[in-house]
Chain A
Amino acid sequence: EAGVAQSPRYKIIEKRQSVAFWCNPISGHATLYWYQQILGQGPKLLIQFQNNGVVDDSQLPKDRFSAERLKGVDSTLKIQPAKLEDSAVYLCASSRTSTSYEQYFGPGTRLTVT
């Protein structure tokens, strides 16, 4: 079974630029999560999808962050414009359903904003 795929693995941009991250969850997993993990901290949930619908985006800074999962499979997370404090690892995870207890994480995208 293939794991959660993410790209790119690393990205360096200047502040005020835009960036997009891509995630392909495990086949058959209905629930997809985007987390932000700042160095030395635990993951922070940005947005949760159930199929192509949003379950929770209460911690997503909607003035600059957006995410979509149009066909209920892969997903993109965009930041526009980026700020220095957006430097973090962006983790995508998936689970079979929204009440499944185990989440499977992708390798993450390390974003550096200069």
Chain B
Amino acid sequence: GQNIDQPTEMTATEGAIVQINCTYQTSGFNGLFWYQQHAGEAPTFLSYNVLDGLEEKGRFSSFLSRSKGYSYLLLKELQMKDSASYLCAVMDSNYQLIWGAGTKLIIKP
């Protein structure tokens, strides 16, 4: 079967760094995505990794290891507006997204 695992909830302090991990087992692999979803809103695209390594985009970075079936999203200089759920999703061999349940990130002052 196909499976995406990520922690249910994490708490971090404003200004700090947090790493959200994601492990996956899927039928084929055409890339891994991270989406941000604020409460009551639609998911918005953050990052896409298809090759191993680190992709940096401003305060957010995403890492992929295909051999380990592992990714993480790194958020630096946390701001209160970063409080949201972060969804990990893998595009399988049929180009369909398999979604994790999301990690709720709580930022404290």
Q: B-contacting residues of A (Cβ < 8 Å)?
A: 40-45, 48, 56, 91, 98-99, 101-108, 110
Per DSSP, are chain B's interface residues mostly helix, strand or loop, or mixed?
Answer: loop
What 1/0 mask marks residues of chain B from 36 to 64 whose CB sits below 8 Å from any chain A CB?
Answer: 00001111110010100000000000000
Query: What's the A-B contact tally at a CB cutoff of 8 Å?
Result: 46
**Is the CB–CB distance between A48 and B96 below 8 Å?**
yes
**Is the CB–CB distance between A99 and B97 below 8 Å?**
no
Bound CA span A106–B50, Å: 25
Q: Which 9 A-B pairs have the closest CB atoms?
A: A42-B99, A105-B42, A99-B95, A42-B101, A41-B101, A43-B99, A42-B100, A105-B43, A108-B42
With A102-B48, A105-B43 as contacts: A42 and B102 at CB distance below 8 Å: yes
Per DSSP, are chain A's interface residues mostly helix, strand or loop, or mixed?
Answer: loop
28 A-B residue pairs with Cβ-Cβ distance under 8 Å, sorted by A, are: A40-B102, A41-B102, A42-B87, A42-B101, A42-B102, A43-B43, A43-B87, A43-B97, A44-B99, A45-B96, A48-B96, A56-B94, A56-B96, A91-B43, A99-B30, A99-B95, A101-B33, A101-B91, A102-B48, A103-B45, A105-B43, A105-B44, A106-B42, A107-B41, A107-B42, A108-B41, A108-B42, A110-B40
